[in-house]
Structure 1
C-alpha cells in the first residue's frame, strides 16, 4: 500500500480552490457564523479515491459498538476504527493528517493556528454506519475542530445527516440545563426554539465543524443505507484535556463499564 499511494502525497493534496485567499475568507465567515462549513471536493479526486480504497481495505479491523453513551445518554450504534489502528494499518491516511497543505487551509478557515491532537485513539478515526438505525448520537468532541470527509453517503431521504446546535454550553447555561446530563431534554428545547441545523452531505464532500462548541449527531440511517466517514481532529490549544468518551467509543473494550444496550428499530 505504501508504494501505491506514496506518489499521491507528493502531489497537490488540497484542492486549489481552497488555497485561494478570497475563498478562505468567505469560508471563515461562514464557519464563524454557522459553526461549520461544507467543503465539497476538499481533496482532489485522486486523493479522495485513495481514501475510499484505504477505508475499504482496512474495514475488517473495525469494531462494532452498540450502547448508550454515559452522561449524554445518547446512542452509539456504529462500527469504528481508532487512530491507533489506522496507524498500524495505513501509511496514506496518517500522511494526510500531518500534511502542511491541510493544516494551512484549515488554519485559514478557523482563523487559528492548529495543532495535531495527541490522543492515540481520537486524533483520527473512521466511522461506519452500516445497518438500519445506525447512528452516532448527540455529543461534543474534546478537540475543538473536526475535518470530516464523507467517503460514502446515503441519499438524503435515507438518513445519515449531520445535525448541530451552535453554542451548546451557552444555550444550556441560559436555559438552566446541564450541558452533559440534560442533553436529551435540552435538545428538545432547542428544537422548539428552532436552533437545530440539519445538513445532508454527499459522497465526496467534507465539512469542518467546531465540534467542541456545537453539539452534534448523525441521524440514523435507514434500511440498507450506509455512511462511512474519516474524521481528523485538530485544536487551537497545544494540549487538550480528554474525558472518557473517546476511550469508551474508540478504545479496546467493546462496551463501556456502565452502559445500556441500544435496541435497533
Structure 2
C-alpha cells in the first residue's frame, strides 16, 4: 500500500493547467496549488506532521541578523529530525513526479537541497503575533503545503514582492499577499522574491510542511544562513 500511495502523489487536476501555471510562475515567481497532493498522500503527511510536532517541536523567538533583524516567532521541526523519523516525508520529497512538475513549471534543473535541516521542515505559527519575518531563501524553490490555517481574517498571510530582493519593499504597493487554507500548497521562487509570513492576529494555528529545492547554481551550498537559528 505504501508503494501504491507514493507512486500516485500529485493530484491529476494540478497538471491540467500546467501551461498557465508556468506562465504565471514566469511572471511573478509564485503559483497557488489548491490541491497539489492526492487526498491519500495528504492525509498520510498530516498524520506524520502532527506526530513530529508533538514530539520534536522547538520554539524559536529571535531576530535574524542576516536579514536586517527581521523577527522569527515560530515553532519548527528540523529537516534533520524529519530525515531520521519519517521515511514517508523524506521519500515524498525525492519523488520523481513532484520534481518533474517543479522542473516543468520553473524550466530549470531541480536538485535536492544539500542542507538537510532546510531540505524539508515543519513551520507552525500558533500564538498571537507569531511571525516569520522578511527574508530571501538560500535555495530558490519552495513547495509549501498547509495543514492548519488561521483563515482569511486570522493573519498569517504570505506577503511577497515578485522578483525583488529588497526587504524595504515589503509592506508597499509592490507587495502581493495571499493566504493558505488547509490542503492548499504554493510553489515560489523564494531566493529571488523577498517574502514574509505576516503576524497572527489571534492564538490560531498556521502549520505548513516546507519542501526546499536547489538548482545548479546552489546545489553545492552546504548550509543555509538560517538553518542553525531556525532548527537547532
Which TM-score band applies after superposition, normalised by the shorter structure? over 0.9
8 Å contact from structure 1 (residues 69, 75) kept in 2 = yes
Count of residues in Structure 1 that have an aligned counterpart in Structure 2: 228
Distance of 2:100 and 2:15 partners within structure 1: 8
Residues 48 and 243 of structure 1: is their aligned pair in 2 closer, same or farther, counting only changes over 3 Å? closer
Partner of 1:64: 59
Unaligned runs of 5+ residues in structure 2 are: none
Unaligned runs of 5+ residues in structure 1 are: 173-182, 253-265
8 Å contact from structure 2 (residues 115, 224) kept in 1 = no
1:204 paired with 2:199, answer: no
Post-superposition offset of 1:222: 2.1
Aligned CA-pair RMSD: 1.6
Alignment map for 1:165-184 (pairs within 5 Å): 165-169=161-165, 172=166, 183=167
What TM-score does the superposition give when structure 1 sets the normalisation length? 0.82
Alignment map for 1:207-226 (pairs within 5 Å): 207-226=186-205
Post-superposition offset of 1:82: 0.9
Post-superposition offset of 1:240: 4.2
Post-superposition offset of 1:212: 0.4
Counterpart pick for 2:208 among 229, 244, 254: 229
Q: Secondary structure at the match of 1:244?
A: coil
Post-superposition offset of 1:79: 0.7
What TM-score does the superposition give when structure 2 sets the normalisation length? 0.93
Post-superposition offset of 1:244: 2.4
Partner of 2:30: 36
1:117 paired with 2:97, answer: no
Partner of 2:13: 17
Q: Which has the higher contact order (CA 8 A, sep 6+)?
A: 1
Query: Larger Rg: 1 or 2?
Result: 1
Partner of 1:255: none
Alignment map for 1:93-132 (pairs within 5 Å): 93-132=89-128
Runs of 4+ with >4 A deviation: none
